[in-house]
Structure 1
C-alpha cells in the first residue's frame, strides 16, 4: 500500500472512474486506472518524465499539422 496520495487529472469525469491516477513512492512512480485499482504499473521517475514529454510533444505536433 502506498503512503502517498493518488492524484487524478483535473480533466477526469465527475464520477472519477475514467482516468489514470498516479502516485509517487519517492523512488518510483505508480500508475493505475481508476476502474481497476488493483492493477498498477510501476516505473522510474525518468521514464515517466520521458513518457510525459513524448505525449506533450505529440499533442503539440498534432495541433500544428
Structure 2
C-alpha cells in the first residue's frame, strides 16, 4: 500500500513541477576582458591572475561572437 501512495504522490508532483523556462539574453550585459581583469586585480592583487582572467574573458567573448572553432 505504501508504494501505491508513493507512486501517486510522485505522479502528482511531476505534473505540477515547472520544467525549465525561457532564459532571455536581452537583459544580460557583456563583461569586457579589461573589466574582468581589473576586477580580478582589485580582488586578488595578483597580476598573473588578472592576465589569466583577461585571456579567459576575451576567449569567452570571442566564442559568443563567432562561435567555437
Report the TM-score range of the alignment, normalised by the length of the smaller protein.
0.3 to 0.5
Report the structure, 1 or 2, having the larger strand content: 1
Report the structure, 1 or 2, having the larger helix content: 2
State which structure, 1 or 2, has the greater radius of gyration over its C-alpha atoms: 2
TM-score normalized by structure 2? 0.35
